[in-house]
Structure 1
Amino acid sequence: MKLSSITLRLMKAPLKRPFKTHLETVTEREVIIVEARDQDGLTGYGEAVPFSSPWYTEETVKTCFHMLEDFLIPKTLAFDFKHPNELAGLWSGVRRNAMAKSALEQAIWDLYAKQEGIYLGKLFGGERTEVDAGVVIASDRVEDALRQIEECLEVGYRRYKIKINPTNDLEFLTQIRSAYPDIPLMADANSAYTLQDVPHLQKLDAFNLMMIEQPLGHDDIVEHSLLQKEMETPVCLDESINSYHDAKSALMLESCGVITIKMAKVGGWSQAVKIHDLCVEHNVPLWCGGMIEFGISRAHNLALATLKGFTIPGDISSSSRYWESDIIEPEVIVKNGVIKVPDKPGIGFSIHSERLDELTSYRTVYR
């Protein structure tokens, strides 16, 4: 797998509508695109998806670029490796920085799958030919949230996630359930509650939610174990699952009934598949999380969601939900609630080069 070059691009674009949580409002999305090229001219693509400020994770676009440029890329280009599964060992001296590792590993796995002439998901045992799609509703006004749900129902999304916090949860969920009593609905708290809120959280059991995602501390596993024992609604862990060890600890402590895997946040394909296999072994339902990403990261998530353990619709919406135009061709399209899985080698999508160049603000090549 001798690489001839690795290219980094900074790119950004405005969202079609603001993405609002109690932690931050995102109106413009900036990411890093990683391109890994071999000596035959084949190119694999990855996408680093930290935010520009550290509101969701400690990584940012700037810190991620630094880790790629000064540590991960030099190590990778200097190493004569034969298979992408060697990368975890190569990078073991770089602690954490999962989003930087994930983006580079994505690009190299995509390249490897293209060299092998196989769709990326099939390399890891993915068998689905279509994937159920879920959607995130993020607004600070319940009227707007209801309007978004109505729009998404027309597309047929199979699961709806509403962002909540202690000041709006009962109002939002009451009005949503009044208007749409039967939709598959879950709530995402983004760590807005504490154990002192247990009596309040127990009121949410009345809304027949699929799950409540990350109600307590973003780095907590222990207190979620205590909360799960006090709630009928399954707890889903997201922010606190950053590695295989985190997932294993959560299952040992019975901290949740559901886990979401965000490939970018756990360090890439290798870690994501290990967590998937662990959850399958323990019969814990999984779904694939999203990061308001562009098409490259979305394509990797789609490939991951073809694995058998992902039985709950994930955060893989149509490209058009966020972007006027995406950087892949064809764009990801949800039709009747599902996304057709491509069968071309690698991520299965082509790169829209003109659009990528249009959105790129900086580009540098390492050889």
Structure 2
Amino acid sequence: MELVKLEIIHYRATMKEVFETSFGKTRIRDTILIHVIDYSGEEGWGEAPVDIGPWYSYETVYTAIHIIKDYIASILAKHRVIRDPWQYYGLVKIVRGHNMAKAGVEFALWDLYSKLQNKPLYKIVGGVKNKVEAGLSIGIIGDLDKLIRYIDKGLEKGYRRIKIKIKPGWDVDPVKRIREIYGDIPLQVDANAAYTLDDAYIFRELDKYGLLMIEQPLHYDDLYEHSILQREIKTPICLDESIKNVHDAKAGYALGSYKILNIKPARVGGLVETLRIHEFAKKHNIPLWIGGLLETGIGRAFQIAAATLPMIKYPSDISESTRFYEEEIVEPPWTLNKDGTYNVPDKAGIGVDVLYEKIMKHTVKTINIKL
């Protein structure tokens, strides 16, 4: 790949409705889109799904722009010819942290690399499935009747697993209500680090309801206290925010901090690190699934590709294009089959066309860098 241009796009869209987690509400969604162009004219697209503020992660729209413009672009300009995304992964190791910024550019390189190889991305990364299972993630509703209506719609759509966000005061009651109405449907909860070990009694109570897993119950950087909690409860703990790379996955495994891992490719720094974690999980028979960060249709393509890997054993958080945003920026849009799966595109690259004009309608700022 001989890169001639890097475009950084600050994209902003209004969501159809508020999405609430334990750390806040989102209605206006900011993200960073990455566009690279090869000397041949071929293009690659990626997304760094950061937020406007440091809520899920310390990374924000502004830190991502800074890291990509002032550091990653310089690395790309210095080398210009990048053999493949693995080489890029090695070059940007000099930048500590800032995984989402690094991932956004890496994703664009994966798309470009796959197109130049004339192969679909999922085959390039070693995917083995032509369909991937989808689960529905529901924010903190705060209204049990409204929650049930959301679940009804999700089950009608075919989603194969229901996940609800929880926080203190919104945890046992909604789970109990769901079990009373729907029986033993696949169900899990996600705390987004809202609890402490003092709340272990809540998780012992949740043990009664046969959950698939409890996702990230304790501190977002913790491994040790999760190992204590996992010994106290039967329900598998799934780690999310605590796992930023394969080293965290290894440490958590040695401590007994989790039984399942959620991999968000952007959170761990891209698909190369995703593959490294996947290889570790394969060696130790650790089940995985792919998480999401309210991505646009561009970022969703990388979730789909990662979800084709063999150790992905649970439905992944991949919602339809139309769920969050009024207007999709890829064609065709990501549409769920009636059986709760997505078809994995066989087209070269990420498998969808990016609608540049639609992106420009919602662009706050564009930075073009010649390489």
TM above 0.5:
yes
Q: Structure 1: which 5+ runs fail to align?
A: none
Q: Is the 8 Å Cα contact of residues 37 and 44 (structure 1) preserved in structure 2?
A: yes
What one-letter code is carried by the residue in structure 2 that aligns with 1:109?
W
What does residue 363 of structure 1 align with? 366
What does residue 22 of structure 2 align with? 22
What does residue 224 of structure 1 align with? 226
What does residue 237 of structure 1 align with? 239
- How far residue 357 of structure 1 moved from its aligned partner, in angstroms, is 1.6
Alignment of 1:245-324 (within 5 A): 245-324=247-326
| Among candidates 151, 163, 166, match of residue 164 of structure 1 | 166
Q: Which moved more, 1:13-22 or 1:102-111?
A: 13-22
- How far residue 174 of structure 1 moved from its aligned partner, in angstroms, is 1.1
What one-letter code is carried by the residue in structure 1 that aligns with 2:28?
E
What does residue 178 of structure 2 align with? 176
Post-superposition CA distance 1:69-116 (Å, at most 9, x none): 000111112113322211122112110000000000000111000000
What does residue 187 of structure 1 align with? 189
Q: Is the 8 Å Cα contact of residues 20 and 140 (structure 1) preserved in structure 2?
A: no
Post-superposition CA distance 1:231-279 (Å, at most 9, x none): 1100000010011100111111111110000011100011011001111
What does residue 153 of structure 2 align with? 151
| Among candidates 342, 346, 350, match of residue 343 of structure 1 | 346
- Mapped to 2, the partners of 1:243 and 1:56 lie a distance apart of 16
> Helix, strand or coil: the match of 1:92?
helix
- How far residue 199 of structure 1 moved from its aligned partner, in angstroms, is 2.0
What one-letter code is carried by the residue in structure 2 that aligns with 1:87?
Y
- How far residue 182 of structure 1 moved from its aligned partner, in angstroms, is 2.2
TM-score by length of 1: 0.98
- Mapped to 2, the partners of 1:56 and 1:141 lie a distance apart of 24
Post-superposition CA distance 1:201-224 (Å, at most 9, x none): 101011110000000111000111
- Mapped to 2, the partners of 1:58 and 1:364 lie a distance apart of 22
What does residue 136 of structure 2 align with? 135
Q: Is the 8 Å Cα contact of residues 164 and 189 (structure 2) preserved in structure 1?
A: yes
Q: Which moved more, 1:239-248 or 1:195-204?
A: 195-204
- Structure 1 segments, 4+ long, off by >4 Å, are none
What does residue 357 of structure 2 align with? 354
What one-letter code is carried by the residue in structure 1 that aligns with 2:39?
Q
TM-score by length of 2: 0.97
2:92 aligned with 1:94: no
- How far residue 50 of structure 1 moved from its aligned partner, in angstroms, is 1.0
What does residue 4 of structure 1 align with? 4
Q: Is the 8 Å Cα contact of residues 172 and 202 (structure 2) preserved in structure 1?
A: no
Q: Which moved more, 1:355-364 or 1:284-293?
A: 355-364
- Mapped to 2, the partners of 1:107 and 1:343 lie a distance apart of 18
- Mapped to 2, the partners of 1:212 and 1:118 lie a distance apart of 37
Q: Which moved more, 1:42-51 or 1:352-361?
A: 352-361
- How far residue 29 of structure 1 moved from its aligned partner, in angstroms, is 0.5
The count of residues paired between Structure 1 and Structure 2 equals 367
What does residue 117 of structure 2 align with? 116
- Mapped to 2, the partners of 1:312 and 1:24 lie a distance apart of 26
Q: Is the 8 Å Cα contact of residues 21 and 140 (structure 1) preserved in structure 2?
A: no
